[in-house]
Structure 1
Amino acid sequence: MKIKNVLLIVVTSFCFSCNGQTKKINGVSFVASRDSISKKHINPVLNAQSNFVALMPYSFIRNVENPKVEFNTNREWFGETKNGLLQYAKEFKNVAVKVMVKPHMWLRRGGFTGDLKPATEENWILLENSYKDYILTYAKAAEELNAEILCIGTELGEFVKNRPQFWQRLIKDIRAIYKGKLTYAANWDEYKRISFWGELDYIGIDAYFPLSDNKTPTVQDFEQGWLPHKKEIIKVQKQFHKPVLFTEFGYRSIDFNGKKPWEANRVRGAINLEAQVNGLQAIHNQFWKEDWFAGGFVWKWFHAHDRVGGENNNRFTPQNKPAEKLLSKLYQQ
């Protein structure tokens, strides 16, 4: 009798572990808007079979020569503020959709946040102190709304590389406030250099890896392009023993969308709905079956579903395109 009980416990535990491994984060990056949201804005997310949303409160730096991080101002859209975050999160929580709080920073005069590198120690301190205020404000908000995940930064390569001690201290300060899971959204060409993955709960990657030079890459083309990158991702995962989370992933519905998937500013280009579908299918094929892979957040999803995307749109959103139907099918699996 005792042996049977032990076997039952072992089998039950094993099955529970398996279920935990296979339940993925099927997320959308829900874009902050001018407006509050309601059930009508959430229903399309549910129809896409998404179980998670990334909500993105914004900050900005007016001038990189004076890198003070400003946030939660009356010059921002409602969805970009703390009150907006709390309102959005409440609506999603009401329908059992989980939340990742993912702060983003804009450089007002252009430029890539990953290149932000103050020239003086005085400006480094200004950046650090104001960024700390920004992140701890949203760590408190994440705790208040019971968010499942907090992302502590998005694509800040030079900042992370040059000030490692700041980030170590910041993580400790966040842990004192927020009790949920932590990640950082590393750019696709940055994640191998991050020193603090061991202090976080997920290895976060914005997964815009170059995969194919073809005009309309097939699913096989995309998957072939993933192989060397996947090999490197696995090395980092094994080094830190943390699950990998694609904090962003996605493809534009445009020709040559696998060549430089990170390009968002090049609006012109022939619409290619098939290429977008193939990219999403391939990334799902390569990663969603892996036990070490936690899931991801497709880029990007707008609140006014009936007014965005469509078959004449060459941008990232899958909304009202064949990609949306595919995403719903893949997430349902």
Structure 2
Amino acid sequence: MTWGWVGTRGTWATESARESMSAMAKHSVTWTALAYAALQPTPFSTEIDVDAQPTVTDDEVIWAIREAHSLGLNVCLKPVVNVGDGTWRAHIGFFDWDVPGEPSWTQWFQAYTRFIVHAARIAEAEGCAMLCIGCEMVRADGQEQHWRQLIAAVRQVYSGILTYNCDKYQEDHVSWWDAVDVISSSGYYPIDTWEQQLDRIEKVVAQADKPFFFMEAGCPSREGSPMLPNDWNLSGAASEEAQLEYYREMFRACRARDWVGGLMLWDWPAQLYSADAAARNDDYCPYGKVAAEFMSQQYATWTGEAK
């Protein structure tokens, strides 16, 4: 389960954050992705404000790692870049080749590498089992040489497992899977297409000969969301049954494929709503909803496979 997104300063390393993570761990969760974002002003900016508000501080990140470890959870540290003007990070992009006087991929990757290598040092010092080096960077995915250079820099300071979280439908469009240890993607697929998408992804996994899991997956508890699980702005009434329906199909389809190593579900906030508000909550978190018990049962019985 992903915990703590988007990593807003002041919301981690609190008693309510401790209670939230503890509640998550009680649902048979074995891994958590501690996810936080640093901002760049626009999709064409080449500087990332890693130390600025509202990003969590290093002390907060270290607190979350240690708290997760104290609960017996394996930790994947997941630093992510977001865009301050609201543009989705998938649209960060520059000319395919560097042009004098124009912002470039080279400049951006220099800033991004500093951000990721800094996180890698924390992950190494705190014993994180996995580090995610990027999330849904669709336009950047094609910059193979830059990614290979970043990964080489990360491996100089981090000895754990490396993964990259590509976006949905992009699993077969990344040319450098050989450079990471584990393939992962965001599995926000319409409820009636799971078999089709798994057939497609299976070919990628077999060709790369790498382990695979869904770094993100899930569905809001909202009417209509099972067909558009990636649309957090979809209009519709709160519906626990819609989320449960999606979870049932997602777990059924994934557990039937022995090459799917697991599901890192999206998501569990650091500041958790009260249990009596769950029926009115229409977001991704399953806490207090019927999907939570189902998820817990699935995780508790997902034996013989990587979790």
Of 157, 178, 181, the residue aligned with 2:161 is: 181
Question: Offset at 1:294?
Answer: 1.3
- The structure that has the greater radius of gyration is 1
- Structure 2 gaps of 5+ residues are 302-307
**C-alpha distance in structure 2 between counterparts of 1:84 and 1:182, whole Å:** 22
Q: Write the mapping of 1:1-333 to structure 2, written as runs, cut at 5 A.
A: 27-31=1-5, 32-33=7-8, 34-35=10-11, 36-38=13-15, 39-73=18-52, 75-77=53-55, 80-119=56-95, 121=99, 122-124=102-104, 125-161=106-142, 163-211=143-191, 222=192, 225-266=193-234, 268-307=235-274, 310-333=278-301
**CA distance in structure 2 between the partners assigned to 1:65 and 1:306 by the alignment:** 36
Deviation, 1:280, is 0.9
1:119-161 CA distance string (max 9 Å, x none): 4644222211110110000011110111001000001011121
What is the aligned partner in structure 2 of residue 5 from structure 1? none
**Secondary structure, counterpart of 1:300 in structure 2:** coil
Partner of 1:214: none
Distance 1:186 1:329 in 2: 28
Question: Aligned to 1:157, what secondary structure does the other structure show?
Answer: coil
Q: Give the whole-Å Cα distance in 2 for the aligned partners of 1:312 and 1:247.
A: 27
- Measured in 1, the distance between the counterparts of 2:51 and 2:175 equals 30
Contact 1:29 1:297 in 2 (8 A): no
Structure 2 counterpart of 1:10 = none
Matched residue of 2:214: which SS? strand
Q: Deviations over 1:278-304 (max 9, x none)?
A: 111111111134331111211110233
Q: Comparing both structures, which one devotes a greater share of its residues to helix?
A: 1
Provide the rounded CA distance (Å) in 1 between the counterparts of 2:196 and 2:72: 37
8 Å CA contact retained: 2:38, 2:82: yes
Superposition deviation, residue 63 in structure 1: 2.4
* Deviation string, structure 1 residues 196-240 (Cα, Å, up to 9, x no partner): 1111111111111233xxxxxxxxxx4xx2111110010001110
**TM-score, normalisation: structure 2:** 0.89
Letter in 1 for 2:63: Q
CA contact (8 A) 1:28 1:50 kept: no
1: distance between equivalents of 2:237 and 2:140?
36
Q: CA RMSD in A?
A: 1.8
2:129 corresponds to which letter in structure 1? E
Q: Tell me if structure 1 keeps the 8 A contact 2:183–2:211.
A: yes
Aligned residues: 290
Contact 2:62 2:122 in 1 (8 A): yes
Q: Give aligned-pair identity as a percent.
A: 22
Q: Residue type of the partner of 1:130? A: A
